[in-house]
Amino acid sequence: MNNIATILLLLAVVTALAQVTDRIRIPYPILLVLAGIGIGLVPGLPAMKVDPEVVFLIFLPPVLYAAAWNTSWPDFKQSIRPISLLAIGCVLFTMVIVAIAAHEFIPNFGWLESFVLGAIVSPPDAVAATAATKGLKVPKRIITILEGESLVNDATGLIAYRYAIAATASGTFIFLVGGY
Protein backbone atom coordinates (compact mmCIF):
# COMPACT_ATOMS: atom_id res chain seq x y z
CA MET A 1 0.00 0.00 0.00
CA ASN A 2 1.52 3.34 -0.96
CA ASN A 3 1.70 6.41 1.26
CA ILE A 4 -1.36 8.16 -0.18
CA ALA A 5 -3.61 5.13 0.29
CA THR A 6 -2.28 4.63 3.82
CA ILE A 7 -2.90 8.26 4.70
CA LEU A 8 -6.43 8.20 3.29
CA LEU A 9 -7.18 5.00 5.20
CA LEU A 10 -5.85 6.48 8.46
CA LEU A 11 -7.83 9.70 7.93
CA ALA A 12 -11.00 7.67 7.29
CA VAL A 13 -10.46 5.62 10.46
CA VAL A 14 -9.80 8.75 12.55
CA THR A 15 -12.91 10.45 11.13
CA ALA A 16 -15.08 7.42 11.83
CA LEU A 17 -13.72 7.16 15.37
CA ALA A 18 -14.40 10.86 15.97
CA GLN A 19 -18.03 10.29 15.00
CA VAL A 20 -18.26 7.31 17.35
CA THR A 21 -16.83 9.28 20.29
CA ASP A 22 -19.46 11.97 19.83
CA ARG A 23 -22.19 9.36 20.22
CA ILE A 24 -20.74 7.48 23.19
CA ARG A 25 -19.36 10.63 24.86
CA ILE A 26 -15.80 9.64 25.66
CA PRO A 27 -12.68 11.64 24.82
CA TYR A 28 -11.55 10.66 21.34
CA PRO A 29 -7.84 10.25 22.25
CA ILE A 30 -8.89 7.32 24.44
CA LEU A 31 -10.75 5.66 21.59
CA LEU A 32 -7.86 6.35 19.19
CA VAL A 33 -5.42 4.62 21.53
CA LEU A 34 -7.75 1.65 22.01
CA ALA A 35 -8.34 1.37 18.25
CA GLY A 36 -4.59 1.57 17.60
CA ILE A 37 -3.92 -1.20 20.09
CA GLY A 38 -6.71 -3.27 18.57
CA ILE A 39 -5.41 -2.80 15.03
CA GLY A 40 -1.87 -3.59 16.19
CA LEU A 41 -2.99 -6.89 17.70
CA VAL A 42 -4.75 -8.16 14.57
CA PRO A 43 -2.62 -11.01 13.24
CA GLY A 44 -1.60 -11.06 9.60
CA LEU A 45 -1.98 -7.35 8.85
CA PRO A 46 0.79 -6.01 6.64
CA ALA A 47 3.22 -3.59 8.22
CA MET A 48 2.23 0.00 7.49
CA LYS A 49 4.99 2.53 7.10
CA VAL A 50 4.28 6.22 7.04
CA ASP A 51 7.09 8.66 6.42
CA PRO A 52 7.52 10.94 9.47
CA GLU A 53 7.65 13.96 7.17
CA VAL A 54 4.13 13.10 5.99
CA VAL A 55 2.91 13.05 9.59
CA PHE A 56 4.42 16.50 10.20
CA LEU A 57 2.91 17.79 6.95
CA ILE A 58 -0.58 16.27 7.00
CA PHE A 59 -1.59 15.20 10.52
CA LEU A 60 0.09 17.62 12.95
CA PRO A 61 -0.86 21.02 11.43
CA PRO A 62 -4.64 20.50 11.54
CA VAL A 63 -4.46 19.33 15.16
CA LEU A 64 -2.39 22.33 16.23
CA TYR A 65 -4.44 24.73 14.12
CA ALA A 66 -7.70 23.56 15.67
CA ALA A 67 -6.26 23.86 19.18
CA ALA A 68 -4.80 27.31 18.45
CA TRP A 69 -8.04 28.54 16.91
CA ASN A 70 -9.96 27.80 20.11
CA THR A 71 -7.36 29.34 22.42
CA SER A 72 -8.09 32.67 24.05
CA TRP A 73 -4.93 34.67 23.33
CA PRO A 74 -5.50 37.27 26.08
CA ASP A 75 -5.84 34.41 28.59
CA PHE A 76 -2.76 32.76 27.04
CA LYS A 77 -0.71 35.92 27.56
CA GLN A 78 -1.95 36.25 31.13
CA SER A 79 -0.87 32.65 31.89
CA ILE A 80 2.43 32.69 30.00
CA ARG A 81 4.56 31.93 33.06
CA PRO A 82 2.90 28.63 34.09
CA ILE A 83 2.50 27.68 30.44
CA SER A 84 6.22 28.21 29.82
CA LEU A 85 7.23 26.36 32.97
CA LEU A 86 5.12 23.36 31.98
CA ALA A 87 6.00 23.46 28.27
CA ILE A 88 9.74 23.57 28.92
CA GLY A 89 10.33 22.25 32.42
CA CYS A 90 7.77 19.46 32.47
CA VAL A 91 8.68 18.20 28.99
CA LEU A 92 12.41 18.13 29.82
CA PHE A 93 11.75 16.52 33.21
CA THR A 94 9.57 13.85 31.55
CA MET A 95 12.26 13.27 28.93
CA VAL A 96 14.87 12.66 31.63
CA ILE A 97 12.61 10.32 33.63
CA VAL A 98 11.75 8.30 30.51
CA ALA A 99 15.46 8.16 29.58
CA ILE A 100 16.40 6.87 33.05
CA ALA A 101 13.62 4.26 32.97
CA ALA A 102 14.51 3.15 29.43
CA HIS A 103 18.20 2.89 30.29
CA GLU A 104 17.46 0.82 33.40
CA PHE A 105 14.75 -1.49 32.07
CA ILE A 106 15.52 -2.02 28.37
CA PRO A 107 18.49 -4.33 27.83
CA ASN A 108 21.37 -2.92 25.74
CA PHE A 109 19.74 0.51 25.61
CA GLY A 110 22.41 3.19 26.02
CA TRP A 111 21.96 6.65 27.40
CA LEU A 112 21.90 8.32 23.99
CA GLU A 113 19.12 6.06 22.70
CA SER A 114 17.25 6.49 25.98
CA PHE A 115 17.25 10.28 25.59
CA VAL A 116 15.99 9.96 22.00
CA LEU A 117 13.09 7.85 23.27
CA GLY A 118 12.46 10.33 26.09
CA ALA A 119 12.38 13.24 23.65
CA ILE A 120 9.91 11.40 21.43
CA VAL A 121 7.37 10.59 24.14
CA SER A 122 7.75 13.61 26.45
CA PRO A 123 5.43 16.21 24.87
CA PRO A 124 1.77 15.29 25.42
CA ASP A 125 -0.81 15.47 22.64
CA ALA A 126 -1.97 18.96 21.73
CA VAL A 127 -5.63 18.04 21.93
CA ALA A 128 -5.62 15.41 24.68
CA ALA A 129 -5.78 17.97 27.50
CA THR A 130 -8.83 19.65 26.00
CA ALA A 131 -10.55 16.36 25.23
CA ALA A 132 -9.82 14.88 28.65
CA THR A 133 -11.23 17.88 30.52
CA LYS A 134 -14.27 18.26 28.29
CA GLY A 135 -17.43 17.97 30.36
CA LEU A 136 -15.61 18.32 33.68
CA LYS A 137 -16.01 21.39 35.85
CA VAL A 138 -12.37 22.44 35.57
CA PRO A 139 -11.65 26.15 36.17
CA LYS A 140 -11.12 28.18 33.02
CA ARG A 141 -7.59 29.23 34.05
CA ILE A 142 -6.50 25.58 34.41
CA ILE A 143 -7.91 24.75 30.97
CA THR A 144 -6.13 27.80 29.50
CA ILE A 145 -2.83 26.66 31.03
CA LEU A 146 -3.28 23.05 29.84
CA GLU A 147 -4.24 24.10 26.32
CA GLY A 148 -1.48 26.70 26.12
CA GLU A 149 1.13 24.21 27.32
CA SER A 150 -0.02 21.62 24.82
CA LEU A 151 0.42 24.16 22.00
CA VAL A 152 3.96 25.12 23.02
CA ASN A 153 5.39 21.83 24.27
CA ASP A 154 5.95 20.37 20.79
CA ALA A 155 8.67 22.93 20.17
CA THR A 156 10.52 21.83 23.32
CA GLY A 157 10.11 18.18 22.39
CA LEU A 158 11.35 18.74 18.84
CA ILE A 159 14.41 20.68 20.02
CA ALA A 160 15.21 18.00 22.61
CA TYR A 161 14.75 15.32 19.94
CA ARG A 162 17.07 17.14 17.55
CA TYR A 163 19.80 17.40 20.20
CA ALA A 164 19.33 13.74 21.20
CA ILE A 165 19.64 12.62 17.56
CA ALA A 166 22.73 14.81 17.06
CA ALA A 167 24.30 13.35 20.22
CA THR A 168 23.48 9.83 19.07
CA ALA A 169 24.89 10.44 15.59
CA SER A 170 28.11 11.93 16.96
CA GLY A 171 28.36 9.47 19.83
CA THR A 172 28.97 12.20 22.41
CA PHE A 173 27.08 14.78 24.35
CA ILE A 174 28.67 17.53 26.40
CA PHE A 175 26.45 19.56 28.70
CA LEU A 176 27.85 23.07 29.07
CA VAL A 177 26.61 25.33 31.81
CA GLY A 178 27.24 29.03 31.36
CA GLY A 179 28.96 28.54 27.98
CA TYR A 180 32.16 27.00 29.39
The 10s digit of each residue's pLDDT in 55-106 is: 777 777 776 777 777 778 899 899 999 999 989 999 999 999 999 999 999 9
Q: What is the mean pLDDT of residues 153-173?
A: 86
The pTM of this model reads 0.65
CA distance from start to end of the chain: 51
Could you report the per-residue pLDDT of 15-63, keeping only the tens digit for each? 888 888 878 877 777 788 888 888 888 888 777 776 777 777 777 777 6
Domain residue ranges in the chain? 1-50, 51-174
Greater model confidence, 116 or 138: 116
